[in-house]
Structure formats: C-alpha cells, structure tokens
Structure 1
Amino acid sequence: MLACVIHGRDDLRVEELAAPAPGPGEMLVAVRYGGVCGSDLHYWRHGGVGDFRLKEPMVLGHEVVGTVVAYGSPSPAGPPAGTAVAVHPATPCGVCPECAGGRRNICRDTRYLGSAARTPHVRGGFAAAIVVPAEQVRPLPDGLPPRRAALAEPLAVALHAVRRAGPVSGLHVLVTGAGPIGCLVVAAAKAAGAARVTVTDLLPTALGYAGTVGADTAVRAGDPADPGWPSEVDVAVEASGAAAGLDTCLRLVRRGGVVVQLGMLPPGPSPFAGNLLVSREIELRGAFRFDTEFDAALHLLAAEPAFDALISAVVPVRDAESAFALAADRARSCKVLLDFES
C-alpha cells in the first residue's frame, strides 16, 4: 500500500509499505481522505513541530476518514464493514492523573497518530490502510460526506480552544491567524453564540476563507491603519503560532478578559507582554488538541455545508509533495486533502 513517510527535513517520500493486520480490539480502515495539517508541514519543512523532533522515519497524518474493512479477533463491537468512518487520532493511557481527572487530551502517555512526541514515533494515518483501536472509530452522521468529514479533527481542535475560553455567547471574540485552524475557530466561536468575531491575518486570501465560515470583520494584521481593528474584545484566541499574534491578543483583550494560546509557538522561549497579565488581570490559557469535541465536530460538520468552502484542493496521494507545497502556500490554499483512492 502507498503511504506518506517523512524521513527528515525536506525529505517526504511516498513509499510502498506492507498492509497492516488488525489485532484484538483493533479495526482495519481503508483511508479515503487525509487532511494536510500545519504540524505535518512543520515535520516536512523543519523536521519537527514545537518541541517534538523527528528521530526516525514516520508515516505522517492524523486527519483521516475512510471505510471499515475488518476487525481483529476476537472482534470488538463497532460499525460493520463498509461503514464510512472518521478516526479519532488519540489513544490516551486512561490511568494517569490527567485521564483520571477528565482531561485526556493532555494525557502524559498518550499515543497520537503521526506524532514524534514519543519514541518509537506513532505511525500516522497517511496510508491506504491503517489499524486503530476500535473505540477510536466514529461512524459518519447521516448527510455528512467523507470529504467534509476530513475536517473533523481540526474542527475538534477549534471547538476545544473555544471551550477553554469559557462561555462566549454574546461576546466579541478575536482570532489571530486565519489558517485552517483559525478559520475553524471562527466557525466554532459563532456556533457557540459569539455576537461578533474579528479575525486577523497578513494574507487577504486567508481572510476571505474566514469570511466564508462566519467572520464578521477581517483585519490585515500588518496594517495598523485598517479600520477593522477593535478597540477591545472580550476573548482572544491566538491561532497563528506567532509571538506577534499573542502580543496582539494581550493588547486588545479587555481587562479581566481571557486569551487562549492555541497556535504552537516556535521551540524555546517566546517573548510576550507579561506585565499586561498583571496590570489587567488577563487570564492566559493553553489549548492542546481535544477529546470529546471530536464527536461534536462531526455533528456540526453534518449540519453546515459551508465548511466545504475551506477545502481548496484534493490531490492524489502519489502527488503528496505537491499537495504539501500547495498547503504550505497560504496565498493559494486553505485545507488540502490527500486522496488515497485516486
């Protein structure tokens, strides 16, 4: 079977690998679509993401949908063969203090598809067939096409970030960064009842995508004279992964407001306006991955066809490197999918 394997910085290969076989409690899924994520791009361009560095070749990908093929023996409960499904990419340990406390997304011993956070690295989902624990497979809700369902993982990230902010109903929310995750944060905030969402980015194309999913105001981040800049907001979600974005959030959120850092900042220390946390009693909260939000994401996707506008290209897996190059060019794309059946 074909798979996308990262060997190091700028070394992405489409290789023939042996097809896996499911074991007890596992399911074999034929992958149809895989979404190219910002973390996949970081592994390709930089050999790592945040503090997670490649130490060995790894199959990339964690945003995948497909079809149930078979179960291991003894067969666990689950949807029958032929069912269209999305795959929750996290396997938390279930026993650490974080799991016991209901925060499985920050499990200290989790396994996550296509992640170099642990060694050996966890094989990802960019392969024609994958084996996953059966409890991580979700049948697609009625009316949700597999192509749109490929957005479930990044939308779950966005939903978790908005939940970390607390109730946003009736509030003004700022989102810095209009990449795929930032656009989905816009949609998540609107779905949670935000009265107004302002989004910032350097690129007009990215801001245009944000508008398709509900942004009320789009602001050019590099233009201090842009008339869309708010005087202050109630909540800010930093989705760009840039220190400048965090600075914008801290300076625009109201006194006593909440800033959620969602974008993964570069490795090492990051400067930020820490005195504002003190003098304005701003709450700075991190947001990492998600847990039960994955199921909520599937139902939101099923209810809202507007998400289709964020999918800018579907590329055959054999052309994975060109797909990655397109996904990395934010002036030409938002979310790029790999197609494992073409």
Structure 2
Amino acid sequence: MDTDNLSVVLHAKGDLRLEQRPIPEPAPNEVLLQMHSVGICGSDVHYWQNGRIGDYILKKPMVLGHEAAGRVFKVGAGVTHLKPGDRVAIEPGVPREMDEFFKNGHYNLSPTIFFCATPPDDGNLSRYYIHNANFCYKLPDNVTYEEGALIEPLSVGIHACRRAGVTLGSSVFICGAGPIGLVTLLVAKAMGASQVIISDLSADRLTKAKELGADFLLPVQREVAPQEMAKCVEGILGGMPHISIECTGAESCIQTAIYATRSGGVVVLVGLGAEMTTVPLLNAAVREVDIRGVFRYCNTWPMAIAMLASKRVNVKPLVTHRFPLEQAVQAFETTRQGLGIKVMLKCDKNDQNP
C-alpha cells in the first residue's frame, strides 16, 4: 500500500505546511478515502491568515480542506452501502450524538457536530482521509470528482434558497458574486426564480454571474448609500424583490438587502461579517420583512447530486484554477489574492483530471 499521505497542515496563524501524516485505519462505520479533488474555501484562507473564525480558534495543527470528493479505498467492518472503488462526495459535517437537533432534522445546528477543518477537527486536504460512511455519497458516472467537491458550496446555496422559500416566479436579489453568491444564483434559477439580480464590486465577477444565468447585474459603488442601492434594485427589476440573499457579510450590503426587499418578503443572511452590525430593524419590522440566518446546510447532498446528474445545474465554470497537492501554498496564495473564482487542489498524483 502507498505510504504517501501528503497533507496540508495549518500550524499557526500564517504557518501553512505540507507534511506527511500516517494513513489512518477506518473504524467500523468509516471509510478510508483516496482523495481526488478538494476546493479551497474562503474559510480555509481565513484560518490561515487569522488563526481563527469567531469562537473557533486554532490551538493545535489542523489539516485544512472541506470541499471534497474522492474514491473509497477501504471500508470499515460495518459499512455495507459502499465498496472500494466507489466515487463519493463528502459531507463535512457529521453529528457526534443523536441530540434534539439531529432528531428534528437540523443536525447542522448540533453544538457538538464534527466539521472538517474547523478547530479542533482535521479536514481532508491530503492523499488519504477517513470519514463517516453515512456522510459519503456515491457520485453518478456523469458527475465528475470536481463537481462532487463543489457540492459543498452548492449546498450552501441550496440551504439558503430553501430558507428563503425560493419557488416558481420568485424575484431574487443576491448581494455578492463570489463563489457562494454564484452558487446561490445557480440554485435560485434551478428552483424557478423568474428574475435574479446580483450585485458586486468586481466587474469580472458580475461577468461570470451573467454567464451563469443572472438576469440583471448591479455594479456596487462604495460611495452610494444603501437606500439608494435599494432604489437601484427596484428600478432595474421594475419592483422590489420577494427575496434578498446576502452573501458578503458587509454591513452596508445587509442594510441594502433589508431596504430592497418588498414588504412581507424574506432576507436571508449567508455572509459572515462583524459580530455586531447596525441594521434598519424597524424598517424590516413595520414591513414584516423576515430576516433569517443560515448556518452551513443539512440534508442537501441528495438534491445537489440530482441537480448535477440531471444537468439542471452546471458548476463547472466556477473552477478557474487547478494545482497539484504539492503546490498547495501557491494555490492558497492564489485564493487569498482573489484571483479567479474557485481554486481546486488535485490530491491523486496519478489522476489530475477534473
């Protein structure tokens, strides 16, 4: 058996290393995966640059990576639905106990959940990785490893659109055309949104949004007040949107989303910004605008796989850069600089294909 388990390990703020780790042995309910494609998320870069996200603080070396797909290499004694050779996408959040959140279907809210590359839990940016078999999903033959890895960010979009109640005929305003804004756009259109307008500071990202099916683009200018931006949204759409989905975390964008949403509509907050944010709460309250939060996702992988297999959603254009695992530091630097959309690391030295 191969002994090469090259892994991308964050030791401390700013200290990212490539190092060999032992190849783990799967427990009865786990599978050992030969990793293939792992996307770099903004949260991976944030841990690298800051050593923490909110209350999650890096205290010991941690393997990064949670947007992942690979091939089953070995199965634990109790695993019956997977076999060596199966291609799978990995759901990175695994409940550790059957608590009230697990029982009522909101296992993502369980306070003790395991989550890849969230301190103290290791991620899967390595050659080999073990994971709970029940949170590994077989990929159809017509879905690539990279598409499988992109199910993780796609799931954020699915969960956000479900929380928002996107349905046939919805008009939707999306703040931010980064990777999460773009997958939210794809999902909103697939769920039947009739009009989607998306805003961003970057002309390149708005161009990508147009390619992916946005009906209207709204370039953001920093000096324009949120209420004026909201008026622009209304003017372009010919009316206020039913739903606004905020994917930046920026205070001004949250304010714009609230002002822009029609009375009785919904604002969903996806982007993570400052702990304390000033928002026009009274404006939302007197117009019965619901403000809903999003924390990751739950019960989304089957829908995402169906969307990809049926070709209702095409995430392939999101991947703009690819690097072999050995060039992980360069890949992280590319992401940090905001170059392209999604940077993908290829972990299998014998198969660098999408």
TM category (shorter chain) comes to over 0.9
Alignment of 1:90-239 (within 5 A): 90-116=93-119, 121-222=120-221, 224=224, 229-231=233-235, 232-239=240-247
Matched, 1:287 2:294: yes
Specify the code of the residue in structure 2 equivalent to 1:96: D
| Post-superposition CA distance 1:164-215 (Å, at most 9, x none) | 0114320110111111111000001001100111111100111122222221
Superposed structure 1 runs of 4+ greater than 4 Å apart: 223-228
- Equivalent residue of 2:314, what SS? helix
Q: 2:35 aligns with which of 24, 27, 31?
A: 31
Matched, 1:68 2:72: yes
- Equivalent residue of 1:222, what SS? coil
Q: Which residue of 2 aligns with 1:87?
A: 90
- Decide which moves more: 100-109 or 196-205: 100-109
| Post-superposition CA distance 1:64-107 (Å, at most 9, x none) | 101000012x2411222111111111111342221122211211
- Equivalent residue of 1:199, what SS? strand
Number of equivalences: 335
**C-alpha separation between the residues in 2 aligned to 1:316 and 1:127?**
11
| Post-superposition CA distance 1:202-230 (Å, at most 9, x none) | 00111122222221111111175999633
Specify the code of the residue in structure 2 equivalent to 1:57: P
**C-alpha separation between the residues in 1 aligned to 2:166 and 2:248?**
22
Specify the code of the residue in structure 2 equivalent to 1:87: I
- Equivalent residue of 1:143, what SS? coil
Q: Which residue of 1 aligns with 2:10?
A: 6
Alignment of 1:21-60 (within 5 A): 21-60=25-64
CA shift for structure 1 position 50: 3.3
Q: 1:77 aligns with which of 77, 80, 96?
A: 80
Matched, 1:306 2:314: yes
Specify the code of the residue in structure 2 equivalent to 1:230: E
CA shift for structure 1 position 238: 0.6
- Equivalent residue of 2:317, what SS? helix
- Equivalent residue of 2:199, what SS? strand
Q: Which residue of 1 aligns with 2:279?
A: 272
| Post-superposition CA distance 1:143-176 (Å, at most 9, x none) | 1111222110110111000000114320110111
Are the equivalent residues in 2 in contact too, given 1:30–1:66 (CA < 8 A)?
yes
**C-alpha separation between the residues in 1 aligned to 2:215 and 2:9?**
40
Question: Identity of paired residues, percent?
Answer: 32
Alignment of 1:245-260 (within 5 A): 245-260=253-268
**C-alpha separation between the residues in 2 aligned to 1:103 and 1:32?**
29
- Decide which moves more: 167-176 or 184-193: 167-176
CA shift for structure 1 position 301: 2.0
**C-alpha separation between the residues in 2 aligned to 1:327 and 1:297?**
24
Q: Which residue of 2 aligns with 1:243?
A: 251
CA shift for structure 1 position 43: 0.5
Specify the code of the residue in structure 1 equivalent to 2:99: C
Specify the code of the residue in structure 1 equivalent to 2:37: Y
Q: Which residue of 2 aligns with 1:329?
A: 337
**C-alpha separation between the residues in 1 aligned to 2:128 and 2:197?**
40
**C-alpha separation between the residues in 2 aligned to 1:328 and 1:253?**
32
Specify the code of the residue in structure 2 equivalent to 1:196: Q
**C-alpha separation between the residues in 1 aligned to 2:290 and 2:79?**
44
Q: Which residue of 1 aligns with 2:352?
A: none
Q: Which residue of 1 aligns with 2:326?
A: 318
Are the equivalent residues in 2 in contact too, given 1:8–1:47 (CA < 8 A)?
yes
CA shift for structure 1 position 49: 2.0
Task: Name the CA shift for 1:329/1:229 in 2 (closer, same or farther; >3 Å).
Answer: farther
CA shift for structure 1 position 277: 2.0
**C-alpha separation between the residues in 2 aligned to 1:63 and 1:239?**
18
**C-alpha separation between the residues in 1 aligned to 2:123 and 2:171?**
37
- Equivalent residue of 2:305, what SS? helix
Are the equivalent residues in 2 in contact too, given 1:238–1:249 (CA < 8 A)?
yes
- Decide which moves more: 220-229 or 272-281: 220-229
Task: Name the CA shift for 1:329/1:169 in 2 (closer, same or farther; >3 Å).
Answer: farther
**C-alpha separation between the residues in 2 aligned to 1:210 and 1:325?**
24
- Equivalent residue of 2:181, what SS? helix
- Equivalent residue of 1:229, what SS? helix
CA shift for structure 1 position 328: 2.4
Stretches of structure 1 lacking an aligned partner (at least 5 in a row): none
CA shift for structure 1 position 281: 1.7
